[in-house]
A and B are shown apart, each in its own frame.
Chain A
């Protein structure tokens, strides 16, 4: 690891100003991506700004749904997750599990216990690894990413493999979304890394809007799948998902699986995601 300077930020604003102060500074959240990258000498930030202890960036809040015209059986609460909330905290939040079990289940299957106890949702989406799980969830849930300077919709936030709409000096504070009426996540892990070879997140909002996103498979990161969305909009069922002919264009081929295999997995994982929803 190259030499670096460690700072402990007192709050989000302090983190943003420390970050803005040096062009080669980086936020350190759980360190589960950044530290290994530094150990491999692939990253050499001059300054590390640790946000892991900042209270305002941690925790899950669930705001009851406002009374709407039609009373739906489930969903509609506003869920906010602090950027520095660990995967473990998300996975084990009982209220969140009741409101949106798809996201607690997703968090429970990220990495291993050590990773889950350190890694954070903010770090995961800021990094936007093309095989990470959270980007699929936030995109399908139509989430909003709240930063130290603005709110960004998930559709605008994820701009391609390892890239996001974040500007220099901008720190993610939290993410929020409306609890879906139904949602599910189907993940097929890469045997070696156990990141997603293909992960499909399906979500149906309380208004009946269906969004389907795919991680792991795209050659430019997480994306929404129009074919699956329209099939599930007209018929929300495993069979309907399985019936979609998923093409291999634009999909990733690597030593773990080619585009045709990933295309097959998208169909299978979509079906299983709906089954679990």
Chain B
């Protein structure tokens, strides 16, 4: 059976994962390691007047207690934001300082003020509890709207009114004019709920300073170890890059939250130098809720205008984005360039305008989380479309069909130029599979049983493989967004692929080998993937934004092109043929039309013995490449959700969820389906179960699984997942990306279905039973009036 492109090759990494043999950061044990426990603020906003660590320092087994003044005093730099956003008036964003250990002020519950280093985890925790911090509490604000109100507590001196930026995109005057003359206006307030990322493996770090070599090693739970090293070195001044090795071993999920370089990793490195011990820290689940960057948290007002033929003439959106107490690495990009650039959706809209206020609050920093801005955009757009259809009394599928972009490339008014797609084809495939035609019959049957059935669409589009570097640079990005690869053919013909992408659950060790198997006709067992170690892989940008396929694999293809060219030269030389007649297939280098051939391993051997290679050719067979894409890729699809609501309790059951996606070329359908399943579960989680809740004092009321509801197997249906693809013209494999689509496209489908069932469009996420029941009560009260 072929193991090349399109084959359902079983995941190579699963053998170690499902037998409990994965090697995660917390599994790494260094000789003489010490443990870090952080002293964290119980207050959401307070001045720190003093820290008394004397009791802790007196305890047996305590190595040291370190604070923020010592950290900044040693020249450890403030935590950076990697993307500068410019406000409407041309001013740069107002960013407040963020020190890995707070010095004078704490700004959210969990903000670390000191760290205890001790011989055991238990001693470290006990000692941390004994540290007495003199806090002087300050007024607190947790919501973005409240934080922008007059008289709100001021969180950072240099962000007056807590406004970080007031940014805009699109064409304002034409949009206003289009809305003013529109035949129909649809207007909505839309909240995108705040989420905690909850990867199964909590964050962890173990840092070792080797004094004799003046060298640091950091094992950490990172989606992008090279970026971590760059930032730790260039901005936090821990050590120059060549003196710092960052290793991200097996990583158990991230969903974005492991992109960022957090205070704890920085502190472990610095503390290792201070104490001359390996310093280890592993987050517990409570710490994860308190410190992992949260996602989403938008408050939006949107207005859409349609003409008398129901063509959309304009869309205007205002969003207030809660960025928490400090600006995390990509916090500025997520609610701007990753969000508002998708507000044209799948539709041909001449006029789109959006402005976004980024706001400080006394909450955990908010950053990219699976989908990063695109779920928020698709939620706005697809809620608006469904609402428009209801308001106009037309079929939601037809309204969408009428407005689809049908010709490519298509330039939207909000930067993005869509390169390919067939939105109507995805919609038709999903409608047929969901038996949309038969829905009213099913609704009537449910009504007989006292249940309310509803159906909802979501025709999402998103942007993956964020690129090209020059373009993102011009928009404010601090890094380039290319990827690197190296293909090493060993003398025996086996192959190692070194990639700057880093799998944290995506199955790269399987899919990346498949494209090599396809190209050279080798079994995948002869190919292995090396990633996640800055000493092994020269550089890379990591894994997020569904970029590893479209960008990471493209880099591998480029490197394979070079290998192939060299192999052909060697083959032509040895087989005494013209290079043009050499073909590579089934693991052999052949002369076309003859029976002359060299087996793949013979080519490897020839390259490394160098006894008989073309004159002037360097020995060896190893090539590397950097790939910088020419555009984003644009996965899109149509999701249809059908629900049944129990009006007595508000309990909603998803009866059927149908997903038709356009991901371009698919390397391994099994892995792609898995990605969609996971994404759908996460999107359904956002829509019906998950939500971070703060009280007015800035305490998280949902900081454990007793209160934060993750979707469980019995909460989600058996999905119908299918594909209807158009090839992506922008990269050599024609890939678009599949890692986030499920989470991006599903929430609006769920909410559109529930609101259809209950006859009340006023419903926020998460649509818990109590929220749905309350919306039902509101609807029946309105009906009675």
Q: Chain A residues in contact with chain B, CB under 8 A?
A: 1-3, 40-41, 188, 191-193, 195, 255-258, 261, 264-265, 268
Contact = CB atoms under 8 A, between A and B. Distances in A.
Of A3, A192, A257, most buried by chain B (CB within 10 Å of CB) is A192
B21 to A, nearest CB: 23
A256 B773 CA distance: 12
B524 to A, nearest CB: 37
A255 B768 CA distance: 11
B707 A40 contact: no
Contacts of A268: 648-649
8 contacts: A2-B126, A188-B649, A188-B769, A192-B689, A192-B705, A256-B770, A258-B770, A268-B649
Nearest to B708: A192
A28 B23 CA distance: 34
Given A261-B773, A264-B773, A255 B707 contact: yes
A2 B693 CA distance: 29
Contacts of B780: none
Contacts of B773: 261, 264
A148 B768 CA distance: 44
Contact of A193 (B693, B707, B774): B707
Interface size class of B (residues with CB under 8 A): 20 to 34
Given A193-B706, A257-B770, A264-B773, 13 more contacts: A1-B122, A2-B126, A188-B649, A191-B689, A191-B769, A192-B710, A255-B701, A255-B707, A256-B707, A256-B768, A257-B768, A261-B650, A264-B648
Nearest to A272: B648
A191 B709 contact: yes
Nearest to B702: A255
Interface string B696-720: 0000011001111110000000000
B720 to A, nearest CB: 25
B125 interface: yes
Contacts of B129: 41
Contacts of A258: 770
Contacts of B126: 2
B286 interface: yes
The 6 closest A-B pairs by CB, nearest first: A192-B709, A257-B770, A193-B706, A261-B770, A191-B709, A268-B648
Contacts of A41: 125, 129
B693 A255 contact: yes
Contact of B649 (A192, A195, A255, A265): A265
Contacts of A193: 705-707
Nearest to B709: A192
Contacts of A3: 122
A256 B690 CA distance: 11
A261 to B, nearest CB: 5
Contacts of A257: 768-770
Interface string B93-132: 0000000000000000000000000000010011001000
Contacts of B705: 192-193
A138 B707 CA distance: 27
B654 to A, nearest CB: 14
Contacts of A2: 126
Nearest to A268: B648
Nearest to A192: B709
Nearest to A271: B648
A250 B773 CA distance: 20
A257 B709 CA distance: 14
Contacts of A195: 706
Contacts of A256: 707, 768, 770
Nearest to B769: A191
A65 to B, nearest CB: 37
Nearest to B646: A268
Contacts of B122: 1, 3
Contact of B706 (A1, A192, A261, A265): A192
A195 to B, nearest CB: 8
Interface in B270-293: 286
